[in-house]
Chain A
Amino acid sequence: MTTLSTDGLFTQLRTHVLSYIPLTGTTLMQRLGTGTLASSRLWKDAPPDTAAYPYGVMRLLNQLTSGEYNGERERIDFEIMLFARPRAQAVALEDMADLIDQAMLRYRDASSGLSFSRSRQRDTLPPPTSPADREVVQIRLVYPLVVWPRYLTQWSDPTPDPPALDYMLITLDGDGDIAITDDPNALPLGTVTIDPITGDPVVDL
């Protein structure tokens, strides 16, 4: 995955919610299509005119940045709108919304740049009135994201990408010196984690 562009961020989020494997039941990819990313009816911005139900529409809204992070940190609302028809499909659609809530719970991706979400808002819309089709069930899901996209942070970070490993162990080597390793079998004296907000290493002995 990549956050080298906004479209890359879209792809990252779409892949994540569609591929998430729940404790029970099938993935969203299977519920909104035939089990492949390409066939899944989760579209960006608007569905095609001939879209079959159920389907979803995803958008990035309210992209804001602020001065204290030199403009590199963005606050974005990730919105997914789910649609089903007829109204008897309401329960199945709520199940899909549950699945997306699970997928986005404590969502974090540091494979390229850093993006994470820690809260959400969910609304099942009331039965629509004219000019909307009253048999359509609609659920709105919004996940506030914090994103350090690579297309912005590349100017501050001399390395092409942060390491995929998000922790390391502090150990004593054979000479009694302190060493840092990613060997999971090493006897730990402490750990180094990366602060998800600042990106700084945090040493815990």
Chain B
Amino acid sequence: MNEAGRRGIIAAAYIVSNNVKRNLRGGYTSGEFVTGQSINAVTISDPFRLGPNWGIRVGTNLLYNLFWELGHMNIFTHRFERVEKWRPALFDSRDAAAAAYARVYIETMERGG
């Protein structure tokens, strides 16, 4: 059951991660300066214990992703800028991520995991 939960949460994280990457494809503003750096910086942690459950983090190691998501004073536009890509992706992924978790969990249990 432990292994099934661990594998299930990894599958769910990939659904969220893919949705975030899809949202980041056009960049944060006009799309003219997209280098792929933001997309390549979407990271998935190792599963970790949350009491009896498993948790996993989908995040980034690129700091400016954080500042675009939460809002910042932009030195080029001289304005407050905030473009949310991650939170909507997580919200839109909830059902698909839960389904992926359930599918992998059941498959693993059926194999005796």
Which A residues form the contact surface with B (CB < 8 A)? 46-47, 49, 51, 57, 61-62, 81, 83, 85, 125-126, 128-133, 136, 138, 140
Contacts and interface: CB of A to CB of B under 8 A. Distances in A.
B64 A129 contact: yes
Contacts, number: 52
Contacts of A51: 80
Main secondary structure of the interface of A (DSSP, over half): loop
Interface residues of B, number: 18
Nearest to B79: A49
Contacts of A62: 87, 91
A81 B73 contact: no
Given A61-B87, A131-B75, A138 B70 contact: yes
B63 interface: yes
A61 B69 CA distance: 13
A47 B79 CA distance: 9
Contacts of B67: 125, 128-129, 131-132
B73 A83 contact: yes
B78 A81 contact: no
A133 B71 contact: no
Interface in B58-108: 63-64, 66-67, 70-76, 78-82, 87, 91
Interface of B: 63-64, 66-67, 70-76, 78-82, 87, 91
Most B Cβ at <10 Å: residue of A125, A128, A130, A136: A128
B79 to A, nearest CB: 5
Contacts of B80: 46-47, 49, 51, 57
A193 B76 CA distance: 56
A140 B64 CA distance: 16
Contacts of B74: 131-133
A125 B70 contact: yes
Contacts of B70: 81, 125, 138, 140
Nearest to B82: A46
A189 B104 CA distance: 58
A49 B91 CA distance: 29
A36 to B, nearest CB: 23
Contact of B73 (A61, A126, A136, A140): A136
A175 B79 CA distance: 72
A85 B80 CA distance: 13
B95 to A, nearest CB: 13
A85 B70 CA distance: 17
Contact of B75 (A81, A126, A130): A130
A112 B36 CA distance: 49
B72 A132 contact: yes
A126 B79 contact: no
B108 to A, nearest CB: 29
A133 B81 CA distance: 11
